[in-house]
Amino acid sequence: MVKLPRTIRLDPSDTFVFERAAEAGEWAVSGAFVFYACDISALGQKQRVALRSGLLGIESLGWSTLAIVTEATQAERDAVVARLAEQLSAKFGAPDVDAARAAAEEEVAFAASLCDHPPQTLLAVSRSVENGEIRERFRTLKPRATEAGGDRLHAHARAFTFHEVEGDEPAEEVDLLGLTKTDRT
């Protein structure tokens, strides 16, 4: 087994902050190559957010704030490389199939190197442009160990828990402007 990052969405914020959000569960790579030859000053706000903090889902070419370390079979890893190579050819103008495959191998190997942590560890990236070069810094958040006698849900008396919902999710509507209008008397 190898370990690779998969996108994860703990809340709907990715759909607001990125131009295109990755779907939860997509295999992911760093994605810094997307910004390699672009004019950083010409990027829109949501593109700048992706540059600063996005991990690239290889299926949708959407962005995710977080990825989770996931075990994968060699066949799954090979499929990730093949799909990324297809995307590099179709969307990023790779000169030929061999060049696309070599670049995809390199990206997936780098993504795998980020996963030298236990499964279920969360990964996040912080990018900056320094002296014309993109610098990446990665952070991890590991699950807490459960205390003796406690179950996973209640071991740390968490204020919030996340549960996957099947079917229609309730629409979330937030009036951000309305939240700023408070009575200051």
Confidence of residue 99 (pLDDT cuts 50, 70, 90): very high
pLDDT at 6: 98
Tens of pLDDT, residues 104-149: 999 999 999 999 999 999 999 999 999 889 999 999 987 766 666 6
Higher pLDDT, 13 or 176: 13
pTM: 0.77
Beta-ladder partners of 141: 122
DSSP string for residues in 16-35: HHSSSBPPTT-BEE--GGGG
Confidence of residue 167 (pLDDT cuts 50, 70, 90): low
Give the sign of the dihedral formed by CA 44, CA 49, CA 50, CA 52. Answer: positive
| Tokens coding 80 | 């990730």
DSSP string for residues in 161-181: ------SPPPP----HHHHH-
pLDDT at 118: 94
Tens of pLDDT, residues 22-57: 999 999 999 999 998 888 889 999 999 999 999 999
pLDDT at 163 over 70: no
Q: Which residues of 61-74 are buried (b: 16+ CB within 10 A; e: fewer)?
A: bbbbbbbbbbebee
pLDDT at 141: 86
pLDDT at 132: 84
DSSP string for residues in 71-132: EE-HHHHHHHHHHHHHHHHHHH--SSHHHHHHHHHHHHHHHHHTT-S-TT-EEEEEEEEETT
